[in-house]
Structure 1
């Protein structure tokens, strides 16, 4: 299977590294230093107390790329329009671009460019940290689930490709519950780790931090219930803390963004909870406060005391 990973940051690089063991994988990312390093030295991945280098092609554009059956979209939300343009150029007419992005709204933005028949939803709990150009660390081997639509055949083929590459995966006909389940977990982890400057595990090990996780998650659950979403989490707070423990050494994607002064995905994670809460009449003051704090953190990056 020919696969393009559009967005070779931490997550995309980890997935691309593993899939390249069995499939023709190309990484597409605008970061030239990262792309050049991969092309010259290979992609280095640290995982399971070992480190390996794998050779696979990387590029910054769709120029001269052959059509692919599947594209995995792993960019940050702000880069979705760019990813949609790349996917529109390289995904075959009967192929599918699966978004594995955080938050809500990315599939709809992709579909506006590619059409609903070429866009699929996926949910992943893989933990990954980008250590340096060309070097990534897997911090959690969580499962990835693909929607049965728009192509059941391709969904199973991609899930099989993941499993053959030592990445747990499956297919679901009820992705809405999984999308919201991941959104709720991200709501409790990402912003707080970014603000506290801690790896995921600290949220589950420090009572004061755990209290904040509970406040964020409980608001998100109330919004999901009001929206009529069955989230599939028997105890959302406990399961969020379990994810934090399972990815204890991982730096969340939002923490990584804040540390390098990049825009975060606050608007599609906690911000999505706030917007849905407003639409449904569910108060979300704590998530609104987290949004305000992250937005202020982004705005004051040049002034930060070190």
Structure 2
């Protein structure tokens, strides 16, 4: 099976190493030639939860030089890069292939809807944590589970090659579940990210620190109440207390993880806040629901982005 892992961030490195151990034709597709050269030369070094480092040889190529045809593409780029990467991925995905989108937040499904494609497009949600230490090294910082399902609409029957891949990964590496409808998972992950990501980024703390700060806990609960009001208007019958407990559990399981938004700000990059908190704000406006806390978090993150660009 020919697999393309598109994106050399933390999860991209982690999954490229995992899949290369199962499928020798796995290729990591990077944004820069520098990273592709480094991976080709050194492989990917994975530091596991046990602290032990393992190096896996992995093929790599920069995105503007991709010519192979892939059976499965794991599209693991940031939301800001999604549109161009998705069109590129479509051009090198086999006619009977599958594209799996791993983006945080919401909005990428709207891009997919506007695109003419024959290949099935899936969405993925994970609670695993990872931290990219350098171009070829990733530290696995939190165990978790992954769910994969059709991005647009519900579907009970799934492509055989995707079922085979997921069975292999589930058996060898981590729990993976195929879902008929991934949208509830996407929105639940967005709800969790909407408090963990901006607060860890603004406070510059690891995930586990949030629930040791009383004021942060209070802000998490208030923001979740806002978000739950929005998703209940969308038809999801969730309770703020339940989601609060899920956030606490994720923070505990990924206590040493630095959220992707925190990592972006550390590196001086633009964040995905417009697709996370901004997704809640946009949906709230469409339904006449005020979301001042999420708007404030979004503005504060943008302010910190501006400071980092100076």
Same fold (TM over 0.5): yes
Looking at structure 2, the residues matched to 125 and 88 of structure 1 have their Cα atoms a distance apart, in angstroms, of: 27
Gaps of 5+ in 1: none
What is the CA-CA distance between 1:105 and the residue it aligns to?
1.4
Which stretch shows the higher mean deviation, 106-115 or 216-225? 106-115
What is the CA-CA distance between 1:167 and the residue it aligns to?
1.8
CA contact (8 A) 1:187 1:270 kept: yes
What is the CA-CA distance between 1:294 and the residue it aligns to?
0.7
* Residue equivalent to 2:133: 131
Looking at structure 2, the residues matched to 152 and 233 of structure 1 have their Cα atoms a distance apart, in angstroms, of: 33
Which stretch shows the higher mean deviation, 18-27 or 117-126? 117-126
* Residue in structure 2 matching 1:221, options 228, 237, 250: 228
What is the CA-CA distance between 1:7 and the residue it aligns to?
0.9
* Residue equivalent to 1:202: 209
What is the CA-CA distance between 1:265 and the residue it aligns to?
0.1
* Residue equivalent to 1:31: 32
Looking at structure 1, the residues matched to 26 and 56 of structure 2 have their Cα atoms a distance apart, in angstroms, of: 11
1:152 maps to 2:158: yes
Equivalent runs, 1:8-87 vs 2, <5 Å = 8-23=8-23, 24-48=25-49, 49-61=51-63, 63=65, 65-87=67-89
After superposition, the Cα gap between the structure-2 partners of 1:18 and 1:233, relative to the gap in structure 1 and judged at 3 Å, is farther
SS of aligned partner of 2:68: coil
TM-score, with structure 1 as normaliser: 0.93
Aligned length: 303
1:301 maps to 2:308: yes
Gaps of 5+ in 2: none
TM-score, with structure 2 as normaliser: 0.92
After superposition, the Cα gap between the structure-2 partners of 1:233 and 1:55, relative to the gap in structure 1 and judged at 3 Å, is farther
Looking at structure 1, the residues matched to 173 and 102 of structure 2 have their Cα atoms a distance apart, in angstroms, of: 18
What is the CA-CA distance between 1:223 and the residue it aligns to?
0.6
Which stretch shows the higher mean deviation, 135-144 or 111-120? 111-120
What is the CA-CA distance between 1:81 and the residue it aligns to?
1.9
SS of aligned partner of 2:36: helix
Looking at structure 2, the residues matched to 13 and 233 of structure 1 have their Cα atoms a distance apart, in angstroms, of: 34
* RMSD of Structure 2 on Structure 1 (CA): 1.9
CA contact (8 A) 1:7 1:29 kept: yes
Measured against aligned partners, the alpha-carbon deviations of 1:86-130 in whole angstroms (never above 9, x if no partner) come to 211211111111101100111331343352743111211121111
CA contact (8 A) 2:207 2:251 kept: yes
Which runs of at least 4 in structure 1 moved beyond 4 Å after TM superposition? 148-151, 230-234
* Residue in structure 2 matching 1:190, options 188, 197, 201: 197
